[in-house]
Amino acid sequence: MPELPEVETVRRGLAPVMEGGVIARAEVNRPDLRWPFPPDMAARLTGRRILRLGRRSKYLLADLDSGETLIVHLGMSGRMQVSGVALGLFQREHAAPEKHDHVVFHMEGGGRVTFNDPRRFGAMDLWPTDRIEDHWLIAKLGPEPFSNTFDETYLAERLRSRRTPVKTALLDQGIVAGLGNIYVCETLFRAGISPKRQAANLSRERAGRLVPIIRDVLSEAIEAGGSSLRDHRQADGNLGYFQHGFRVYDRAGQPCVTPGCGGSVSRIVQSGRSSFYCPQCQR
């Protein structure tokens, strides 16, 4: 499942083509993805100018001049690929239509943005822009990791009340939006905190120190174009490469990268998800 860095990478890749542009024609090739599309979605998108292309947690938000916002969730395998216009030094020509090209945005000027999703776990919806925070996918989200409201005091207070492992608490989208399994594992390793430690038992100082580490990990991942483990591609079709810098994630049995540690990375399952950590370094 794409996490914040992957979605932000896609947003940045789409912005030069979509932000400020007009959707000359929206092509919707099936009635649903994970859930049914909103009624008359193609007609409601066709001819609309995209005023702003934003992101909230793991959702892309395209504010339209109609007063509606298109909400896009990539799901497990969704990709939004640009063709017909130059991105940087290269231009990707229009490919032949594929079986899983479920939604296609034909932009004025000849650009095309294709949403391809083989597993169909993605989703799209249209919602009034001035009430976007009331949408059921958005309403219960916590603050963005880079926002001013996500600070050391806030996180320490939220973790102090949680009688769950800190790994589980950080995956709670109501505490902080956009974090997923990969980046929580990497954050806890850098912080020297075991994923098994109870959130409520962290000192205020250790809990607060997580905030800059979370931001550092996410910033590095965005700069690297996200992590391409299975399906993630940037808008120009290229892979992300943050996975080449993983320190613990997906490295079970390999030596810990901390100089002088001598331990190895372990894998445990928490709430149905794999946690990777170094028992020697993380307490």
Task: Please say which residue of 105, 134, 163 terminates a domain.
Answer: 134
Note whether 114 and 180 are same-domain residues.
Answer: no
**Rounded Cα gap, residues 31 and 100, in angstroms:** 13
Span 175-192, mean pLDDT? 95
Task: Please say which residue of 134, 165, 193 terminates a domain.
Answer: 134
Note whether 74 and 171 are same-domain residues.
Answer: no
Q: What is the pLDDT of residue 231?
A: 47
Q: What is the pLDDT of residue 114?
A: 96
Note whether 173 and 92 are same-domain residues.
Answer: no
Task: Please say which residue of 134, 161, 196 terminates a domain.
Answer: 134
In terms of Cα–Cα distance, which of 80, 81, 77 is closest to 93?
81
In a domain, 130, yes or no: yes
Say which of 11, 58, 162, 167 is annotated catalytic.
58
Q: What is the pLDDT of residue 124?
A: 98
- Which of 115-124, 216-225, 256-265 has the least mean pLDDT? 216-225
Q: For this structure, is 152 an active site residue? A: no
Note whether 113 and 80 are same-domain residues.
Answer: yes
Indicate which CATH number applies to the domain containing 78: 3.20.190.10
In a domain, 209, yes or no: yes
Indicate which CATH number applies to the domain containing 217: 1.10.8.50
Reply yes or no on whether the pLDDT at 230 is more than 60.
no
In a domain, 26, yes or no: yes
Note the pTM of the prediction, 2 decimals: 0.89
- Count of the separate structural domains present in the chain: 2
**Rounded Cα gap, residues 124 and 91, in angstroms:** 27
Reply yes or no on whether the pLDDT at 232 is more than 80.
no
Residue 199, domain extent:
152-277
Note whether 77 and 180 are same-domain residues.
Answer: no
Reply yes or no on whether the pLDDT at 228 is more than 50.
no
pLDDT tens across 54-72, in order? 999 999 999 999 999 999 9
pLDDT tens across 75-108, in order? 988 899 998 876 554 556 667 677 999 999 999 9
Q: For this structure, is 162 an active site residue? A: no
Which one-letter amino acid corresponds to residue 185?
Answer: C
Note whether 44 and 104 are same-domain residues.
Answer: yes
In a domain, 184, yes or no: yes
Q: What is the pLDDT of residue 280?
A: 96
Residues 6+ apart with CB under 8 A from 74: 2, 6, 7, 10, 58, 60, 80, 117, 122
Mean of per-residue pLDDT scores for the chain: 91
Q: For this structure, is 255 an active site residue? A: no
Span 120-144, mean pLDDT? 97
Span 32-56, mean pLDDT? 97
Note whether 29 and 75 are same-domain residues.
Answer: yes
Q: For this structure, is 56 an active site residue? A: no
In a domain, 142, yes or no: no
Q: What is the pLDDT of residue 86?
A: 62
